[in-house]
Structure 1
Amino acid sequence: MRERDAAIIAVTDDVDLPAVEAEDLLRGRPLLVLAPHPDDESLGCGALLARAFAGPGAHVACLTDGAGSHPGSRAVPPARLAEIRRAELDDALGHLGGTAADATMIGAPDGGLRANPELADRIAALARDMGAGLLLAPSALDPHCDHVAGAALGRAVARSQPLRLAFYPVWSRWHGQGRAPLPPGTRAVRLPAGPCLAAKQAAIAAHRSQMGLVVPDAPDGFEMPLGFAAFFAVRDEVYFLSDEGAPW
Structure 2
Amino acid sequence: MSHNAPLAEALSGREKIVVLAPHPDDETLGCGGLLARAFAGAGAHVICLTDGGASHPGSRAWPPARLAEARRAELAEALDLLGGGAADLTWLGHPDSRLHEVPADAILTELMQVIDAQAARHIFVPAREDKHCDHQTTASLADGLRAQRPDLHFHSYPVWSRFDDPNFAENTAGYAPFTLDTAAYRDAKSAAIRAHHSQLGQVVQDDPEGFVLPEAMINLFAQQDEIFWRMP
Q: How does the TM-score come out when normalised to structure 2?
A: 0.89
* Deviates most, 24-33 or 207-216: 24-33
Quick one: structure 1 residues 21 and 31, their matched pair in 2 at CA, closer, same or farther if it must change by over 3 Å?
closer
- Specify which of 95, 111, 116 is matched with residue 128 of structure 1: 116
1:94 shift after superposition:
0.5
Deviation at 1:230, TM superposition (A): 1.0
Distance 2:69 2:228 in 1: 30
- Shift in Å at residue 183 of structure 1? 6.0
CA shift digits 1:171-230 (9 cap, x unpaired): 110113693564698431100002111111111111111111100101221112451111
Residue in structure 1 matched with residue 211 of structure 2 by the alignment:
222
Aligned to 1:239: 228
For 1:142, the equivalent position in structure 2 comes to 130
Change in CA separation of 1:27 and 1:98 when aligned onto 2, cut-off 3 Å: closer
Residue-by-residue CA offset, 1:136-182 (whole Å, 9 max, x unaligned)? 01011101000000111122213322111111111110113693564
Other structure's SS at 1:33 match: strand
Q: Is the 8 A contact 1:187 1:242 kept in 2?
A: no
5+ unaligned residues in a row in structure 2: which ranges? none
Matches within 5 A, 1:1-248: 23=9, 25-26=11-12, 28-114=14-100, 116-161=104-149, 162-176=151-165, 179-180=168-169, 182=171, 186-225=175-214, 227-243=216-232
The 2-side partners of 1:55 and 1:235 are apart by 22
TM-score normalised by L of structure 1: 0.84
User: Deviations 1:87-109 (Å, cap 9, x if unpaired)?
Assistant: 10001000100012211111111
**Percent of aligned pairs with the same amino acid:** 47
Aligned residues: 225
CA distance, structure 1, for counterparts of residue 56 and residue 46 of structure 2: 23
**What residue in structure 2 maps to residue 7 of structure 1?**
none
